[in-house]
Structure 1
Amino acid sequence: MDLTLSEGQFNLVYNSFSFVIASMGAALLFFLLARTRVAPQHRMAVTLSTLVVAIALYHYVRIFGSWEDAFSYAGGEYTQDGKPFNEGYRYVDWLLTVPLLLAELVVVLKLTQSKTRSLIVRLTIAAVAMIVLGYPGEILDADDSMRTVWGVLSTIPFLYILYVLFAELGKSLERQSDGVKKLVDALRYIILATWGIYPIAYMLPSLIDDEANAEVARQVMYSIGDVLAKPLFGILVLGIALAKSREDGYIEPGTTPSATSADA
């Protein structure tokens, strides 16, 4: 793809990547510092959140560098005449982080061991299928009919994931406390809202005639989706872990029961 972007278009994508890097870095530090506030039996979910943002931080640094290397500036415009922009970094990131995101939610619910294993295996297979099937279409030209075919194939496991989250995980909510139930229910809808950004961004090259505008909108939307689906998702998972820790009577090291009560 040979693109010519205005300064504004190039910088919008450039700054969106920079924003994601800052968000992932801040989330990584936050999750590391907040980990001790969670009871040991609930820390695995926070550990997974930390891994997700760490992986995303690394890949966005690579995406940021690839975007810079792909363009040269002349005459007030940026022309894509350098190294090809590597879209693969984003898909490798998703291949690693999406199964971990889904595992976070399952692990923090503390379901039975067999139920947890079954859900994680099924959701992981569906997530990998969704990403692997989406990539071939992503790198095709907007007017290639196979782009739509790959997009439809990728949507099938995407819908299956949503079904599992709403139908099967919904059943588990009855065994949760009222506070946790509200957080998990909110988390499921956030997944629906944030993950809905990705198929829309995927379709933009086929919906927008102007190639430059389509590419800019796609990259910015993917960046927004990643911030919402990773740091924000992790914060809500942390909230569930903290709520469960309080229910278990966990006291953070360095505090006393009386101090905890006074803070409340």
Structure 2
Amino acid sequence: MSVTLDSNQWNLVYAVFSFGLVSMLACTVYTLVSQSRVLAKYRNALVMSSMVTFIAAYHYWRIFNSFTESSEGMVVNVSGEQGAFNEAYRYVDWLLTVPLLLVEVIAVLALAAAVAKSLIMRLVPAAAAMIALGYPGEISSDQNTQVLYGVLSTIPFLYILYVLFVELGKSLERQPAGVAETVGRLRLLLIATWGVYPIAYIFNIVGDASASSFVTVQVGYTIADVLAKCVFGLTILKIARMKSHAEGMPADH
């Protein structure tokens, strides 16, 4: 199976993948060089943020190459066979980065060890289950299978939201001024960006294998990735700096 893009569609997907790649690389460098701007206790959160965007950059490089190599002119091979455009790179990326994104939030808040461990032990398995359950539906051409795995992957997603908004919310009262509000915005950013993924997933179920659906899904996934990883990571840096200054670090750092 293949989809035939016009020149504008092909160039748009090409440019969006390039944008995703360079955004991840730029954020990796920025968060790495910003280590000295926060106290040592918050640097692990920045390291994890750098790991998230570095892993994503690698997979966008693979996605970018897969797209160009699976294209003959403006025709993109999406059959799932060897040499076709490989959507699995995204799921490998998400399987690694989504748990790290959640651990970033816990790390930057510097919660008590027992509380942090409890949250991590619940969030990481739920995040892995969410991604693992979504993949069989993504690659299936059977609508019933797609719906089944879409519903199954939604269950751990809802659990993650519960932990972030109810369980984590209990720990925000003791945070410095402004941190709780910033974390609140961070959680809303997570919902807004993660909400793009199920929309694209549903689009795959109800839509046909057309050029417009292929372009919409790839552009949507990439924009969501940039927001969920780069903007998320920059917000983590902001929280780390706020907490560092509240604990005595000079404001000029």
Flag whether TM exceeds 0.5 (same fold): yes
* Alignment partner, residue 152 of structure 1: 151
1:30-70 superposed Cα distances (whole Å, 9 cap, x missing partner): 11111110100111101100100010001100010001111
* Alignment partner, residue 218 of structure 2: 219
What letter matches 1:13 in structure 2? V
CA–CA separation in structure 2 for the residues paired with 1:205 and 1:213: 11
* Alignment partner, residue 206 of structure 1: 205
SS of 1:111's equivalent in the other structure is coil
The counterpart of 1:80, out of the listed 60, 77, 82, is 77
1:170-218 superposed Cα distances (whole Å, 9 cap, x missing partner): 1111111221111111111111111111100111122334622111111
Q: CA deviation at 1:79?
A: 4.3
1:73-120 superposed Cα distances (whole Å, 9 cap, x missing partner): 1xxx43428811111111010011000000000111111101101111
Query: How many residues are matched?
Result: 250
Is 1:70 equivalent to 2:70 in the alignment? yes
Q: TM-score by structure 1 length?
A: 0.91
* Percentage of identical aligned residues: 52
1:117-140 superposed Cα distances (whole Å, 9 cap, x missing partner): 111111000000000000011011
What letter matches 2:155 in structure 1? I
What letter matches 1:78 in structure 2? V
Q: CA RMSD in A?
A: 1.6
Is 1:14 equivalent to 2:11 in the alignment? no
**Which deviates more from structure 2 when the two are superposed, residues 61-70 or residues 199-208?**
199-208
The correspondence of residues 173-184 of structure 1 with structure 2, limited to 5 A, is 173-184=172-183
Closer/same/farther in 2, CA of residues 79 and 123 from structure 1, 3 Å limit? closer
CA–CA separation in structure 1 for the residues paired with 2:76 and 2:186: 41
CA–CA separation in structure 2 for the residues paired with 1:203 and 1:147: 9
Closer/same/farther in 2, CA of residues 25 and 118 from structure 1, 3 Å limit? same
**Are 1:205 and 1:211, in contact at CA under 8 Å, matched by a contact in 2?**
no
Q: CA deviation at 1:29?
A: 1.2
What letter matches 1:216 in structure 2? V
What letter matches 1:94 in structure 2? W
Q: CA deviation at 1:2?
A: 1.8
**Are 1:7 and 1:78, in contact at CA under 8 Å, matched by a contact in 2?**
no
SS of 2:5's equivalent in the other structure is strand
* Alignment partner, residue 257 of structure 1: none
What letter matches 2:154 in structure 1? T
Closer/same/farther in 2, CA of residues 203 and 180 from structure 1, 3 Å limit? same
1:117-174 superposed Cα distances (whole Å, 9 cap, x missing partner): 1111110000000000000110112x52211111110111011111111111111111
**Are 1:39 and 1:250, in contact at CA under 8 Å, matched by a contact in 2?**
yes
* Alignment partner, residue 254 of structure 1: none
Q: TM-score by structure 2 length?
A: 0.94
Closer/same/farther in 2, CA of residues 128 and 79 from structure 1, 3 Å limit? closer
SS of 1:178's equivalent in the other structure is coil
* Alignment partner, residue 242 of structure 1: 241
CA–CA separation in structure 1 for the residues paired with 2:12 and 2:33: 32
CA–CA separation in structure 2 for the residues paired with 1:120 and 1:214: 36
Structure 1 segments of 4+ aligned residues over 3 angstroms from their partners = none
* Alignment partner, residue 98 of structure 2: 98
Q: CA deviation at 1:20?
A: 0.4
SS of 1:3's equivalent in the other structure is strand
Q: Where does the alignment leave 5 or more consecutive residues of structure 1 unmatched?
A: 252-259
Q: Where does the alignment leave 5 or more consecutive residues of structure 2 unmatched?
A: none
What letter matches 1:234 in structure 2? G
**Are 1:173 and 1:181, in contact at CA under 8 Å, matched by a contact in 2?**
yes
